[in-house]
Amino acid sequence: MKTIRTLVAIVLVGGAIGIAIVANAVCDQTAASQADRDLWNTHGCWQDFFLWQYRAYGLNSNDWSGRGWNDACNNILEYPKHWNASFLLTYGLLDNNDQSFHGTVDYRATAEAASSNFHNSIHDTIADGTAFFGSYSGGAVTTFCPLYNSTWQNSNPGSRGGDFEHEGWHAWMEKYNWNNGSANGHRPCTTNPDGSCTNGACTINGCDYFYFHGISKYVFGAMWENDGTANRFHSPNQVQVEYLCDVADQSQSWVPASVRLAAKTDADTRAAQRFINGPGYACGSARPW
Amino acid sequence: MNSQWMRSMMRLSLGVLAVALLPGCKPAGSSKDAPQTKTTGGPRPSEILKAYKEHSPPQLTFGDDVSQFLDWAGASHVDEREDARKAIAAAGNNKTVVQALIKEVERVKTVDHTRALLALALLGETRSPEAQAFFVEFVQRPLPTGGPVIEGEIVEQTHAAQLQAKAVDGLAYANNESSNKVVTDIIANHPSKIVRAEAINAYLWNHDDSDDARKFLSQYVRKDELILIDRVRRTTGENAESFNRKLDQFLKKHPEVVPPRPEKLEARQKPADQRRAFDVKPPDF
């Protein structure tokens, strides 16, 4: 009887630990993508910036412990990658009113924690797992391992910042009571007889509309505005694509080519497959280099 | 085994599970701690940039040069684009360089997506027959059908499709009879919309977005994707007047893309906005 009890105990406790390990599958902390490294080398771990950034994004040491909070210059860890993306977002854009979709003032206000016309106060946190790139709920922007694991396509500074924009825009929708759909804040797709799932031109289960607007139609600082119609409005994926496009084509001269190329690739992919009334704009030249 | 013992074990197991699922058990009261680093502070980026030596690409003569050249190319600035183009054009007929670039694509394609994109971009710029042959084979590789799924998107499939789309840029840039044949075949038959869309975009870009090119492509593009022929592209450095004119034409031709009026949610009680004080101004660059 004693042996059976011991075996049952091992199975129960071991199973519980196993479930916990699976649920908390940790992000890869072994490498940074070339785009992350190239951008990193432009600042060489700028301490004044991350000591500003952690407050500007409302970061809490409890959330980021074990992820580079106490090793903020180790660029293979999650927190350094997070603030590397913020560095790009804060300083990397050209802000040409005659060419850029929006200005740094718009993208910063969307991503940063402070309450403004863009959203009520938010804060950035992190969680393990690979089921999402990011999420927004109740003031918390959570980013997940696909934005930090160096082998994944979205583990680069532009895509990470693009996710800050996307989730920040869900906070905008919450502030102004907009309904963007039932699939995690997007419109769901419908499964077709061939097994594919589509909604108009959108091919994933999380579709948005693209609210086309010209350049200079929003003065810098006015991205938050809307007139209640499709004439002056943005969706989360659209804000993300416009940010990525501005990184790709309207960046400061010093922004590395690897960062710009990864941003263009992400923008073009999203524009092709995430909009019901798509495609969104294509970004930049189709010349290979 | 008595039931009391079983209940005790279940409670113990649930306790272990609950503790393990907590997002790290950290000491209370540390939430206001600032991030730390073991290294000393360096100069501002503007100071670091002063030491950057522009327009100085490393040599690209031998296969062994490729790794260092890719390091430089990835870090290169906007106004060094032509430096890279000149270097790669000079090496376009150098088979050892082209083969080394192909080898680098294969080496990093599953470990560093951003470096694989760079290598494919440089390879496409060579317009070399060896690169073209590689691209033809590369774009036909089956796309992954398993692995993690996010919002219905098979992440590894998108990963591979993005690389294939970059290879298509190289095929379209060669712009000869055989490469264009491959591009039109991709437009008609490739399983990924990401790749088909880029093939259309790249073909048109390499044919000056002419009406003849659009008409030619319309016989290959899937009927449900014909709108991709008219897709608006913001080219680098394009001003508002030019872009807005193209957008107006697109919207006139495709009134069906105008979205419906956004929907409001029923008014809900929201928690009070917890305003915190932040430094609005970041440190000077």
Do residues A70 and B35 make contact, with C-beta atoms less than 8 angstroms apart? yes
Q: What is the mean pLDDT of residues A209-235?
A: 97
CA pair distance A287, B138, nearest whole angstrom: 18
pLDDT score for B220: 98
Would you kindly state where each structural domain of chain B is located, as residue ranges?
A: 52-126, 146-247
Q: Is A24 a residue whose pLDDT tops 70? A: no
Is the Cβ pair A279, B197 closer than 8 Å?
Answer: yes
ipTM score of the complex? 0.91
pLDDT tens-digit readout, A41-62 = 999 999 999 999 999 999 999 9
Residue B273 pLDDT class (50, 70, 90 cuts): confident
Do residues A153 and B160 make contact, with C-beta atoms less than 8 angstroms apart? no
Q: Is B284 a residue whose pLDDT tops 70? A: yes
Q: Which residues of B touch A217 (CB under 8 A)?
A: 244
Q: Is B282 left (phi over 0), alpha (psi -120 to 50) or beta?
A: beta
Distances A80 to A93, A104, A148, B7 between C-alpha atoms, Å: 20, 21, 10, 45
Strands A123-126 and A140-143: parallel
Is the Cβ pair A205, B205 closer than 8 Å?
Answer: no
Is the Cβ pair B162, A206 closer than 8 Å?
Answer: no
Q: Which residues of B touch A258 (CB under 8 A)?
A: 73-75, 114-115, 117-118
CA of A92, closest CA in chain B: separation in Å? Answer: 10
CA of A204, closest CA in chain B: separation in Å? Answer: 5
pLDDT tens-digit readout, A171-211 = 999 999 999 999 999 999 999 999 899 999 999 999 999 99
Q: Which residue type sits at B102?
A: I
Strands B149-150 and A190-191: unpaired
CA of B86, closest CA in chain A: separation in Å? Answer: 11
Residue A262 exposed, middle or buried by CB count within 10 Å (0-12, 13-18, 19+): buried
Is the Cβ pair A281, B274 closer than 8 Å?
Answer: no
- Say whether residue A195 is in contact with chain B using an 8 A CB cutoff: no
Is the Cβ pair B201, A153 closer than 8 Å?
Answer: no
Residues in contact with B21: Cβ distance below 8 Å, sequence separation at least 6, in sequence order = A20, A23, A24
What pTM, to 2 d.p., does this model score? Answer: 0.90
CA pair distance B107, B109, nearest whole angstrom: 6
pLDDT tens-digit readout, B3-58 = 555 555 555 444 444 434 333 333 233 345 899 998 887 899 999 999 999 999 99
